[in-house]
């Protein structure tokens, strides 16, 4: 029996629905395995702007820091588009990642056999399966670089900057992740153009001497995007910068069936991580009970495994997801002919019932 405190950032749009779905499943796990999960709701994103004026209140940072881990839905929406740049919901997300020191973001894309029909790729491209881990740098690069704008509005700039230390710490995670998998690492950059990419590549190359078992190759980001579309099975682990990882992980998730399926783990130096689906807040379907809660539910499974060391419990969640898919239940985003359509709440309940 173990006890864990989880901070919940439900956020905006479909965020509350999908996080509630994950809590339903976590409660089923707690009951079955005799653990106690306690939850503290905290505000971040658009809802925090509405309630407090800022996207990331200090109280949220304090509570998250004190918790064993954070489970996040999604933030943002058109309602806050007119906010000044420094006060947008997304600033809250970037801010909490930085405040918690979560520099590494793991985004697995696995094609479940049940979801082959949902992938936009032709069957022949999926013959060899798909199991990719994108290791995205999360607290550096252009998303955190210096931003400037001309007073007269005639130009604007964003800086992409990486230090050797920043590349090394994400590189270490990537090599270690590769060691636990098929030992193939592709470092993605734009070293034919960008100075920061040349530093990235040099640093990763130097590190490779410490991991002789890992086969390291390089790809320019444009080619990597193309290769993901034409031969995704060639990839095992991809390590890349914040912006390239943001883009490529949306692509790798789509080819795995739906962005509504894919979880992520953000980690730093401590055990306390933040776990979130890689998709956004989908304001167009918010409150309609049609969102897919699976990405958030399997994010919670990653939390149990990576931050709490509850391996069996994490396996139970993933097995329950598979079972419910085997029973042909589908949310709208992964619906195909002959399947049974269910809403967000019902999908979560079915998974909880199968723990």
Site residues, ligand IPM (CB under 6 A): 76, 90, 93-94, 246, 278
- Determine whether 246 is an active site residue: yes
- Determine whether 328 is an active site residue: no
Which residue has the CB atom at the shortest distance from Mg ion?
246
- Determine whether 50 is an active site residue: no
- Determine whether 333 is an active site residue: no
The answer to whether residues 44 and 60 touch, using CB atoms and an 8 Å cutoff, is yes
Q: Which does 77 bind (CB under 5 to 8 A by kind): ligand IPM, Mg ion, none?
A: none
Q: Which does 27 bind (CB under 5 to 8 A by kind): Mg ion, ligand IPM, none?
A: none
Q: Which does 305 bind (CB under 5 to 8 A by kind): Mg ion, ligand IPM, none?
A: none
The answer to whether residues 163 and 273 touch, using CB atoms and an 8 Å cutoff, is no
Nearer to Mg ion, 105 or 187 (CB): 105
Which residue has the CB atom at the shortest distance from ligand IPM?
90
Per the residue annotation, which of 41, 81, 222, 353 is the catalytic one? 222
Nearer to ligand IPM, 64 or 320 (CB): 64
Q: Which does 90 bind (CB under 5 to 8 A by kind): Mg ion, ligand IPM, none?
A: ligand IPM
Min CB(263)–ligand IPM separation in Å: 12
Q: Which does 251 bind (CB under 5 to 8 A by kind): Mg ion, ligand IPM, none?
A: none
**Distance of alpha carbon 306 from alpha carbon 129, whole angstroms:** 25
Min CB(279)–Mg ion separation in Å: 8
Nearer to ligand IPM, 187 or 249 (CB): 249
- Determine whether 190 is an active site residue: yes
Tell me which residues touch Mg ion (CB under 5 A).
246
The residues that are catalytic are 143, 190, 222, 246, 250
């Amino acid at each position: 029996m173990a006890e864990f405190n989880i901070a919940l950032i439900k956020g905006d749009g479909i965020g509350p629905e999908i996080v509630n779905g994950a809590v339903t499943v976590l409660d089923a796990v707690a009951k079955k395995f005799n653990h106690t999960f306690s939850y503290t709701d905290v505000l971040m994103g658009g809802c925090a702007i509405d309630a407090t004026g800022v996207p990331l209140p200090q109280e949220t940072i304090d509570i998250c820091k004190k918790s064993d881990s954070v489970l996040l839905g999604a933030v943002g929406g058109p309602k806050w588009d007119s906010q000044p740049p420094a006060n947008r919901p997304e600033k809250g997300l970037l801010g909490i990642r930085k405040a918690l020191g979560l520099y590494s973001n793991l985004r697995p894309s696995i094609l479940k056999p049940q979801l082959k029909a949902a992938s936009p790729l032709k069957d022949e491209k999926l013959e060899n399966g798909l199991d990719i881990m994108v290791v995205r740098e999360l607290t550096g690069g252009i998303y955190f670089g210096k931003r400037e704008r001309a007073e007269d509005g005639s130009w604007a700039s964003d800086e992409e900057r990486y230090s050797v230390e920043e590349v090394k710490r994400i590189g270490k995670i990537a090599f270690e992740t590769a060691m636990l998998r098929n030992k193939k690492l592709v470092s993605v950059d734009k070293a034919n153009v960008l100075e920061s990419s040349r530093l990235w590549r040099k640093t990763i190359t130097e590190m490779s001497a410490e991991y002789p078992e890992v086969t390291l190759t390089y790809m320019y980001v444009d080619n990597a995007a193309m290769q993901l579309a034409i031969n995704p099975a060639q990839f095992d682990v991809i390590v890349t910068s914040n912006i390239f990882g943001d883009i490529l992980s949306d692509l790798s998730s789509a080819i795995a069936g739906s962005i509504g399926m894919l979880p992520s783990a953000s980690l730093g130096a401590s055990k306390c991580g933040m776990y979130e689906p890689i998709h956004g807040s989908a304001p167009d379907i918010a409150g309609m009970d049609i969102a897919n809660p699976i990405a958030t539910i399997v994010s919670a499974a990653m939390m149990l495994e990576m931050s709490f060391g509850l391996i069996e419990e994490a396996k139970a969640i993933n097995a329950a997801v598979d079972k419910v898919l085997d029973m042909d239940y589908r949310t709208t985003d992964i619906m195909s002919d002959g399947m049974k359509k269910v809403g967000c709440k019902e999908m979560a309940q079915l998974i909880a019932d199968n723990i």
